[in-house]
Every structure is written in C-alpha cells, then in structure tokens.
Chains A and B, each alone.
Chain A
Amino acid sequence: MLLPVAVLLPLGVATLLLVCAHLLPSRVSTMAAIVTALTVAAICVLLARAALAGPLVHWFGGWTPATSGRPDVVLGISLMADPASAAVAAFTCLMFAASFVFAWGYFDEVHSHFEVLMLLFLAALVGFCLTHDMFNLFVWFELMSVAAFALTAYPLGKSSLEGAFNFTITNALGSFMMLAGVGLLYARTGTLDFTTMARVVTAHGADPVLSGGFCLVAAALLTKGAIVPFHLWLSDAHAVAPSPVSVIFSGIMVSAALFVLAKIAMQIFAHDPPVMALVRNLLLWLGLATAIVGGAMAYAQRHLKRLLAFSTIAHLGIMLTAVSAASPRGMAALLLYMFGHGLVKGTLFMLAGVLLALRASADEIVLYRKGRDLLPAGIAMTFAGLMLGGLPVGLMHQATDILDELSPAMMTAAIVASALTGAAVLRAAARIFFGVSGAPGPEMTAPTERERERDERPLWLMLLPCAALLAMALAQGAAIDRFIGFAAPRLIDPAADASAPVAAHSSPTSYLPIALTLVLALLSAVRRRPVRPFPRSLVRLELFPFRALRFLHSGLVADYVAWMIVGFAILAGMLSWS
C-alpha cells in the first residue's frame, strides 16, 4: 500500500540527510529534496485517483478495528485517503518542490539542515492531511509547528527572532489547547479514531464535554489558520521568515489548518447540533471579520512581505466562510480557493524574495522605480495582483463564484478582501516596476525595516517557479470540475457516492471584485497630497481606522495571548448559549 510511504519517505530521506549532513555537497541534498517532494506528489496523485472509487485506509501495525474484539474500541492508528485530502497532500508537495527550486543556493551555509527541516515539514503536512486519528493529528500539527518555528528564526535578524518568538508562543498555546481538546473528546468517546468517534458523537448528541473538546481543537486550528482574533502572529512570522519558507507558510500551511477544521467538523460533528450551529453561524462572522481586518491592514502596509501576510489573513477569512457553509458546495469552494490562493500567494512571495535578493529591500516606497529593469517580475506581480483582486479566470474566481451563490455575507467578504488586497498588490507593483505612484496614504507610517537576501541565484531560476505556479492558478476546465465535484462530498462523508455541482453561473456580481480592485488601485495612483483644509480633514478621517487597527497589532506577545484568550472565550460563550 502506498499510503504510509507518502509519510515515511520524506521522514526517511530527512533523517538520512541529517546523518550524512557533512559528507554531502549541498547541491546533492537540494536535488534529493526536490526528487523526494516530486515523488511524494506523484504518490498522492495516484492515491487521489484511486480514492475516487472509495476511501483508501491503512491500519498501522495491522491493528484493525477487528483486533480489539470490542465494539467501538479501535486500538490502532489509520491513515485514510479521500480524494480531497490526497489532492491537498499532492498540492503541498508541489509547493515544496517549487520552494526548493526557488531556494537553490540560498541556504548553503547550513549543510543541508534546511532540507532536513523542510522535508520534515513536508512529511508533517502530508500526515496532517491524511491522518484519521485525533492524537496522530496532534503529533503532525506539532511537527509542522516546530519545523516552522525553526525556519522562521533562520535569518537571525532581530525581527526574525522576535517574530519567531511570537509565533512560537502563540502556536504552542494553540497546541496545548488542542491536546486538552483531544483529551476531553477521548474522555467522552473512549476512542481517538475519526470514524468511531463520529459514531459515538452521533449517539450522544449534544454534550458539554464534546462541545468543550471541539471548542479547544477549533481554537488551535483557528490559531494556525490565522482567524481574528487569533491571527496576530501571522503578520510577524510571515514577514520575517526567509522567502522560500514564506511561500510554504502562506501557500499551504495556514490553509491546511482550515481544511482539517472542515474535515473534523463535517466528519465527526455533523450530528452534534450545538457544534454545527457554531460552525454555521460564528465561523461565518469570524471569517467576514478576518477578511475585513486582513484586507484593511494589507492596504495600509508598505513592507511587501507584511502586506502579503495580511492579504493571506484576509483570504483565510474567505476560506473560513466557505467552511462555515458546511455543505458539499462549500467544501468545493474551499478546495478551489485553497489551491488558487496558495499558488498566487506563493508566486507573490517568490517575487518579494526576488526583490529582496536583487534590490536589497522589500519596502515599496524605498523601491520606487527600482524595479524598472525587472520587467518579467513586474508583469508576474501585476498579473498575480489582478488574480488576487478577482480577475475572472482561474481557480480563485471559480471558488468566488460558488461563494457568491451561497450567502451574501460570503460574497461581501470575498469582494472586500479581494478588492483591498488586490489593490494593495497592484499599487506596490505600479510603484516598484512601473514608476506609477500617487502620494503615499496610510501605508506611509507602517512598520518596516531594511533587510536583504542572498543574490547568487540567476533571475531566470527564481522566476521559473513563479511562472509555473501562476500558470497552474489559471487552470480551468471540465476535468477539474469533475474531480472537485467528486472530492467535495467525500470530504464530508468518505463513503458517499454523490457528486456536487461545481460549475457556478457567472452573474454580474462576479465582476464586482475586479472592478473595485481597479478603482482602488487607480485612486491610489492618482492620489495627491491634500493642501486645502477639507481634503486634509478627510485624509485624517481616513487614517483613523487604520491607526486603530495598527494599535491593536502591536507586536507584543502579551497582547497576542490576551486576544487569543478573548477569542477562545467567544467560542466557548457561543457554544454555551446555544
């Protein structure tokens, strides 16, 4: 069975590279890492195709449910591949392969330790998507987190270390909450396996212990998935991590957390009324709030990576609204959005890395007109910004169309987030590559710092993965529709045999995001510094909400933890009162 190989292979290669760290030249370890990532991607694609006929299960150690001799007691751990999980795992490996190609020659000093950390990260993400056991989920969540902490702090600059510290403290608290949640779920259901737990939860119905357990696990996954008010760590961490690593963070790590939240909510708690009420109501509003806060903060940034980090937060809000739909169409929108957004965001972070390497800065105001001779990068960034802003082609647009039909709140979230983030990226691209800029608005006083990355890689090698990812984000077609249509209902119930309609009818509202994006970008390009008193007071009024938001995003870990507990109280409060 290929299923355990998808996790065991990267673990084995990573530990072998660690043993041979000093013996191998660094190019060999990078090649080995790329080959491993592509091999696991191929394995996951095969698994996804095979899973269309029925979910693939693998019981470790041969400890199948029959070996316990008791009903509802499952002794072993299983991996289960349904088409959606295998597709997400394959997508993960693809992003890693692109990141390895982009990082060629970046981490020469550390003798393949970078490849070791990244391959362990890859194994953890694949295990996270494919596992069917609660505690095994926690183990892969931890491995994913630890690898991310170490990789974030790698540049060893002041901001990287402090950003990594904030990241570690908040996410470690999240993982303690997840462990407590797993304990509570075990106390009530007596099992850690998803299928058996679902059976027991359906039999029990509403129960405070089950609600408490779900609340804790959801708080942890919402922390990793950067939803308001658990989101404060992400802007610090993604902005200071090395660019190849930020590609993975924004491209797949954070959206995988929301994917698994959807999986747990739908597969285990589908017949638990208070939990499903929480998912359908609170998660929708949290997603909308996240989209608005993330979009507004992204618009008011000048440091490119911090801008992209906030735009990731905004789009994660949209993904959470798709999760809250709790239906096959919602899951289809989630999958399409994950893939589309991951590809586009990965491209953008790579382009930020190109600017850091070749122009020694990531600040769009400092870089004004400095990218004029990097035209291919400029075109790529403009195109990616348009796609973020709702260009009517490709995976992201198809997902947005589905969301528009599902609920007006989702449509609002999608429009606001797309417009603000797309306009921010277009504004940055216009400033850096085309020399077109108005007077700086709220982004002038945003936090920023000087930094650079190694520049020994040729431009074409850095742009190659960008072009590949962007081309994949444009994918559209009947084959994708068919696959997602099969995968989405099987995410909710692996034994289902229905198919969800994925093609959405294009309505005039689907052009609203791109129109708004272009309007905002145009406004920022023609903006002039106000001289007369009335426009000046308007500008001061405009600055006020951005200043308030920036005050809340203070960079202090104590604030972050306080907001996390507030968020947890909101979740618990909603569950208690329903």
Chain B
Amino acid sequence: MSIFPWLVPAWLFAIGIYGIVTSRHYVHLIGCLTVCQSATYVLLLSIGYAWGAGPPIFYDHPPSTPAVDPVMQALVLTDIVVGAAVTALLLVIAIQVHKRRGTLDPQRLRPLRPDQ
C-alpha cells in the first residue's frame, strides 16, 4: 500500500490546522504552524526518496552509486531556513503583543477593535 507515505503529510497538515484554529496562546499557534511546515518537509523528501539508494554524498562511494534526489533535499534546506525566519519574526511580534496587551490569547486579540 504505497499510498500511506503520501497520507502522512496530509495528516500532519490537518493536525497543524486544527491546532491553529483551536489555539489559545500565540506561542502554541506558532508551534502548530511549524507542524504544518514539517508536513511540507515530509512531502518533499518522500517525493525524492528512492528504495535502496544512499545519500547524494559521494565521498565514500563512487559517483555512480544510486542516490536519492538531491534537488528535493536542497529545496527542503531552503524551506527550513524560511521556517526559521518566519518563526523568529512571529515570536518577536508575540513578545511585543504581550507587552502591550498582557495576553497572548488569539481569541481575544483583534486588530482595530480596541475595546472588544
């Protein structure tokens, strides 16, 4: 049943979305966003994987040994950097919101409605 490896990223993404929608704390929400992102890592790496192939590093093996797809791995590396950058920015926003509102509950923080 080779369909199951493709269902794992879908499940991770759905769980992350559920976490975001029911979250009561900004930092928890940011963590759920990271879960959504790891769904994309799993998807990309699964697309590049090949049975019986080794890593695309030919230091110990000659260059003609079967190896997995290096392009997907390079894409995932970029994705990780993207994730780190966005998470840092979100955490900074969370710090500043906490200083001004004293709360980090997404259900109580709405822009442009200062008295609600």
Contact = CB atoms under 8 A, between A and B. Distances in A.
B15 interface: no
B89 A150 contact: yes
Given A153-B93, A153-B96, A180-B39, A172 B113 contact: no
Q: Which 4 A-B pairs have the closest CB atoms?
A: A555-B110, A163-B111, A159-B111, A447-B112
Q: By CB atoms of chain B within 10 A, which of A164, A184, A557 has the most?
A: A557
Nearest to A160: B111
22 contacts: A135-B78, A139-B78, A157-B100, A158-B100, A159-B114, A162-B97, A164-B93, A165-B26, A165-B93, A165-B97, A169-B33, A169-B90, A173-B17, A176-B39, A180-B43, A183-B40, A236-B111, A240-B111, A447-B113, A449-B113, A555-B113, A556-B110
B43 A162 contact: no
Interface in A137-166: 139, 142, 146, 149-150, 153, 156-166
A135 B94 CA distance: 30
Contact of B33 (A173, A180, A182, A192): A173
A558 B21 contact: yes
A275 B67 CA distance: 34
Given A158-B114, A159-B111, A236-B112, A168 B20 contact: no
Interface residues of B, number: 42
Given A187-B47, A447-B113, A555-B112, 16 more contacts: A158-B111, A163-B112, A165-B97, A169-B29, A172-B33, A176-B13, A176-B36, A186-B72, A239-B112, A240-B112, A448-B112, A554-B110, A557-B29, A561-B17, A561-B21, A565-B17
Contacts of A149: 86, 89
Tell me the dominant secondary structure on chain A's binding face.
helix
Nearest to A150: B89
B20 to A, nearest CB: 5
B110 A161 contact: no
B112 A558 contact: no
A306 interface: yes
B31 interface: no
B109 interface: yes
Given A558-B20, A558-B22, A179 B114 contact: no
Contacts of B40: 176, 179-180, 183
Interface string B14-52: 000100111100100100010011011001100100000
A362 B71 CA distance: 49
A564 to B, nearest CB: 9
Nearest to A158: B100
Contacts of A565: 17
A239 B23 contact: no
A162 B107 contact: no
Interface residues of A, number: 48
Interface in B41-85: 43-44, 47, 71-72, 75, 78-79, 82, 85
Given A153-B96, A173-B36, A557-B20, A306 B106 contact: no
Contact of B112 (A146, A184, A449, A557): A449
A164 B17 CA distance: 19
A303 interface: yes
B109 A162 contact: yes
B17 A558 contact: no
A558 B39 contact: no
A431 to B, nearest CB: 19
A184 B6 CA distance: 11
Interface string A528-540: 0000000000000
A156 B39 contact: no
Contacts of B17: 173, 561, 565
A315 B13 CA distance: 32
A558 B100 contact: no
Contacts of B72: 183, 186
Nearest to B85: A146
A162 B86 CA distance: 15
Nearest to A558: B21
A562 interface: yes
